[in-house]
Amino acid sequence: MSSFVDVVLPVPLPGLFTYALPADLAPQAQAGCRVSVPFGTKKTVIGLIARLHDTAPVGIDVKPVAELLDQSPVVLPGQYALWQWMADYYLCTIGEVFKAALPGKLKNTSRPTHSRPTNSRPTNSRPTPNPSRKGGESSGLNEEYIAQPLPSLTGGVGGGSVGGGSVGDWSAAGSSSLPTLSPAQSTALSQIQDSWRQHPVCLLHGVTSSGKTELYIHLIAEAMARGEQVLFLLPEIVLTSQLTDRLRAVFGPRLGVYHSKFSDRQRADVWQRQLSTTPYDIIVGVRSSVFLPFQRLGLVIVDEEHEVNFKQQDPAPRYNARNVAIVMAARSGARTLLGTATPALESYYNARTGKYGLVTLGERYGGVRLPAIAVIDISEQRRKRLMNGLLSQPLVDAIHEALDNGEQVILFQNRRGYAPQVQCHVCGWVPRCPHCDVALTLHKRSGRMTCHYCGYTTDIPARCPACETPDLRGHGFGTERIEDDIARLFTDARVARMDLDTTRTRTAYEQIIDDFAAHRTDILVGTQMVTKGLDFEQVSVVGILSADTMLHQPDFRAFERSFQMMSQVAGRAGRRQRRGRVFLQTMDAQLPLIRQIVDGDYDAMYVSQMLERRDFGYPPFTRFIIVYLKHRSASTVDALSREATLLLRQHFGTRVLGPDEPPVSRIQSLYVRRIIIKLEPAIPLPRARQLLTDVRATLLAQRLYSAAHIYFDVDPL
């Protein structure tokens, strides 16, 4: 029996923490079980046993484990190995991954789920020396995991009733059976299966409404018939309800849903169920579902694989769930299918260069034609005085026509709120967030202004604080203002707005979608939320109110993103019998990209963007790692970023770009600087990562910088 455990704690400190294992707990303790332990000033913190051993740390008294919270592991060996990979790759600590991975209920509770045997000593009667910190992760950890029996699983892995059955066996679970595929869909299906014989990852490039979801359903059914589990990843919670309805109709209760709008308890229940002998066969979820335990993962589907939402921005781990899912599948010997109408350039590049398989589905189901996209030159409309607020005359006419025919309309504006900002029309004063370097956004419904970075909210001042002018006005436009224009122009239409502000709760967005699907509303106004894989039958007109806000973002991916977003939102039009109409309003009608969108010519967009990426050395030809530096003092962060740049140049030479101020250079009272490291494919990543962590440690060791934050964003989006 071991007398020590090395524990992962949910803290941003590297390494594992050693604690003594009281003799009464030793018989039950296993790698993958949670413990509560004293840590720092906290009485107890919940951690995860990574390793049991008998090597007493030299020269330090270790604190004892307070409670053992599990009788059997809640984290499986493969899961833990993946977390380690994430910590390495994304340059964070295993503790940060652990913190992000476990549902709150499993990591916050101070109440043990299994009480300690009665002969336990009260923990506060023990001496409390500091726990010793191990320098690095124990290399023996995986072996340790493998050596541990996993009693809770023995029934589940081999003894389940699934496996070997025919497709018909499980369909009974749901109420409807598998759809009959069209000839084009059947061909695509067998191409995907063929492709998997050579490549573990296949990219399905299928136009909007081609029936990708129907293909997924067939592939899921096959995987289940082989006794495999399926992970179905979606970029956005909004999409889960429509999709789960479709999948539930076929797979019934064998499907579990996992995302952050569910309560902690529900998520903890899904987690526990995945460990049981009767886990869900299919998990539908957003990015955090890559952390779940799977016992026999056979298929991973990533729908809308191009979506930026798969990347977690803050806090660490700053991971891309699509990429983690691919690694996860590879480690379990599972296949991966990436599906989209508008692939990420990186994925398409991987497919074209033979790293992934590629299957194309070029026609819509039922022979419906792709929508006709009309480009509307806003400046011309203005000159001719044909703009009705934010809507051009052709769009207004089309909306009238659609409403008269009992059809529905989607209007897309890539900005929420009433206006991006309030501005004094006399002196130009703009209210800004006191904590962040951004203008506040006006929300007319609430009559207040909000910072979209930190949530700071305040009333609109009655007078301009700079020049005393009354009547401060909104500048530019967002979704709220469009809603107003519509109410004025189409007095009888029922309008709904879908953006972050109206979808804070799960029921709120489900209600908006349900209402629109049931045609209780006629016009849906929204941000990029409305661009995603939603399927509504009666939408005949889509309006893109301003392509320009997207096109002119200061980001080398702006054109790729614009193509994706506009093609996706256009794809919401005319998904059934009739050909839909799309009105794309822009000041830049001659731009080649606009032509590519109108023609639905992804390949042309790909070729022109890739030429640019190659010339400038951008991904996928290089790999970016951004070093973020933050401090309360602007002068300190400047000094720090200069010194960091010098140090990094010693190792990386001209691959270091910066330092610069990001577009928002102060967030939550911290000044931000960043340095970009641009690595060509030949650079060995492990070495680069080691150098980066060393530089960070060197900087943080200086007293001047001890309060600074330095972190990395690997493969930023």
Decide: residue 383, CB within 10 A, 0-12 exposed, 13-18 middle, 19+ buried. Answer: exposed
Distance between CA atoms of residues 657 and 296, nearest Å: 44
Q: How far is the CB of 476 from Zn ion (least distance, A)?
A: 18
Which CB, 182 or 288, lies closer to ligand ADP?
A: 182
- Stretch 429-468: interaction string toward ligand ADP, x if CB under 6 A: ----------------------------------------
609 contributes a contact to ligand ADP by CB under 6 A: no
**Which one of the spans 17-25, 307-315, 429-437, 615-623 is the region binding Zn ion (CB under 5 A)?**
429-437
208 binds, among Zn ion, ligand ADP, none (CB under 5 to 8 A by kind): ligand ADP
Q: How far is the CB of 303 from ligand ADP (least distance, A)?
A: 8
618 binds, among ligand ADP, Zn ion, none (CB under 5 to 8 A by kind): none
Q: What is the DSSP string of 325-362?
A: HHHHHHHHT-EEEEEESS--HHHHHHHHTTSSEEEEE-
Q: What is the DSSP string of 55-82?
A: -PPTT-PPPBP-EE--SS-SS-HHHHHH
Q: How many residues are present in the chain?
A: 717
424 contributes a contact to Zn ion by CB under 5 A: yes
Q: What are phi and psi of 486, to 5 degrees?
A: -65, -45
436 binds, among ligand ADP, Zn ion, none (CB under 5 to 8 A by kind): Zn ion
C-beta of residue 304 within 8 angstroms of C-beta of residue 533 = yes
495 binds, among Zn ion, ligand ADP, none (CB under 5 to 8 A by kind): none
Distance between CA atoms of residues 344 and 322, nearest Å: 11
Q: To 5 degrees, how large is the angle CA 666–CA 667–CA 670?
A: 70
Site size for Zn ion (CB under 5 A): 15
435 binds, among ligand ADP, Zn ion, none (CB under 5 to 8 A by kind): Zn ion
Q: How far is the CB of 371 from ligand ADP (least distance, A)?
A: 13
Q: Please state the three-class secondary structure of 103-157 as a single string.
A: CHHHHHCCCCCCCCCCCCCCHHHCCCCCCEECCCCCCCHHHHHHHCCCHHHHHHH
Amino acid code (one letter) for 40: G
- Stretch 189-228: interaction string toward ligand ADP, x if CB under 6 A: -----------------x-xxxxxxx--------------
Rounded to whole angstroms, the maximal C-alpha distance in the chain is 87
427 binds, among Zn ion, ligand ADP, none (CB under 5 to 8 A by kind): Zn ion
What single DSSP character describes residue 34?
A: E
Query: Looking at the DSSP assignment, which residues form a beta bridge with residue 374?
Result: 583
365 contributes a contact to ligand ADP by CB under 6 A: yes
- Strands, DSSP E only, in 356-477? 357-361, 372-377, 408-412, 421-423, 441-443, 448-450, 457-459, 473-475
Q: How far is the CB of 576 from Zn ion (least distance, A)?
A: 44
214 binds, among Zn ion, ligand ADP, none (CB under 5 to 8 A by kind): ligand ADP
Q: Within positions 2 to 31, which residues make up the interface with ligand ADP, using CB under 6 A? A: none
Which CB, 561 or 575, lies closer to ligand ADP?
A: 575
Which CB, 30 or 185, lies closer to ligand ADP?
A: 185
Q: How far is the CB of 468 from Zn ion (least distance, A)?
A: 7
433 contributes a contact to Zn ion by CB under 5 A: yes
Q: Within positions 437 to 476, which residues make up the interface with Zn ion, using CB under 5 A? A: 451, 453-454, 456, 464, 466-467, 469
Helices (H) and strands (E) in the chain, counts: 22, 29
Q: Which residues of 529-552 are buried (b: 16+ CB within 10 A; e: fewer)?
A: bbbbbbbbebbbbbbbbbbbbbbe
Which CB, 177 or 458, lies closer to ligand ADP?
A: 177
Binding site for Zn ion (CB under 5 A): 424, 426-427, 429, 433, 435-436, 451, 453-454, 456, 464, 466-467, 469
Binding site for ligand ADP (CB under 6 A): 179-182, 185, 206, 208-214, 365, 533, 535, 575
